[in-house]
């Protein structure tokens, strides 16, 4: 009887330990997987001055990015392929929110982290990529215009970025994440800090860099003044 009780007690301990271990593993895995590289714009006409990377928290909880870093990788280099690494310590992502890392905040709307790399912050490929790490753990990654061993998710990288002022590459709407760069990312409208418009949509309503917004606002004011003067002249 005593031996049986000891065996039952031992089995209960193993059972509880296993349950707790699984819970801990699942919790950490879910927390890590919720931070996604959501959108990239690395190519504009002429000199690239409006580049950005957007992160998204697809989870239900806020995430503090202490010990996280974003690495920019040149797939053509076997030795020291990381050409930029940006420490995200001090930043956080509320559930369902975005974090935009850019080279020049005056050129990218909703930029949260200005790296000071005002031009050519992100290499144009081929076989380049961006990887998000928590310490040494790879959280999420994308390669474009080719494959980088150990970084590319799936068999192929994402399609190239369209070299325009209105297009980027981003996750399909709904923040699709099947761990396949070629399937998850598609060309779409630039939308830093807001929901992606990929696969379809009117890029004339995409986010406009700050200088363009100022120009449009000023043009609108001028138009209103001119119209007001015309109305007064008609009334006279």
Whether the pTM exceeds 0.85: the reply is no
C-beta separation of 105 from 114 below 8 A:
yes
Express each pLDDT in 155-214 by its tens digit: 999 999 999 989 999 999 888 899 999 999 999 999 999 999 876 556 765 454 544 444
Q: Where are the domains of the chain?
A: 1-33, 35-207
Q: Which class does domain 35-207 fall in?
A: mainly beta
32, 85, 88, 101, 117 from 94: Cα distances, Å: 14, 23, 14, 16, 26
Phi-psi region of 42 (alpha: psi -120 to 50; beta: other; left: phi over 0): alpha
Residue 93 has pLDDT above 50, yes or no: yes
DSSP 193-225: TS--EESS--GGGS---HHHHHHHHHHHHHHHH
Give the pLDDT confidence of 135-153 residue by residue, as tens digits: 999 999 999 999 999 999 9
Give mean pLDDT, residues 56-67: 96
């Amino acid at each position: 009887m005593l031996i049986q009780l000891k065996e039952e007690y031992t089995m209960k301990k193993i059972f509880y330990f296993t349950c707790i271990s699984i819970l801990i593993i699942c919790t950490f895995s879910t927390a890590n997987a919720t931070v996604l590289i959501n959108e990239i714009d690395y190519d504009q006409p002429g000199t690239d001055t409006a580049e950005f990377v957007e992160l998204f928290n697809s989870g239900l909880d806020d995430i503090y990015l202490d010990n996280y870093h974003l690495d920019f990788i040149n797939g053509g280099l076997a030795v020291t392929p990381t050409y930029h690494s940006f420490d995200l310590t001090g930043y956080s992502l509320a559930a369902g929110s975005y974090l935009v890392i850019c080279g020049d905040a005056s050129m990218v709307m909703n930029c949260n982290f200005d790296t000071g790399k005002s031009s050519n912050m992100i290499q144009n490929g081929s076989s380049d990529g961006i990887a998000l790490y928590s310490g040494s753990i790879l959280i999420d990654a994308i390669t474009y215009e080719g494959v980088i061993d150990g970084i590319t998710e799936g068999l192929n990288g994402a399609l190239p970025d369209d070299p325009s002022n209105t297009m980027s590459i981003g996750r399909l709407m709904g923040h699709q994440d099947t761990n396949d760069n070629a399937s998850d990312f598609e060309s779409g409208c630039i939308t830093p800090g807001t929901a992606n418009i990929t696969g379809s949509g009117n890029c004339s309503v995409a986010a406009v860099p700050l200088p363009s917004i100022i120009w449009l606002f000023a043009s609108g004011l001028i138009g209103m003044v001119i119209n007001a003067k015309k109305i007064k002249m008609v009334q006279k």
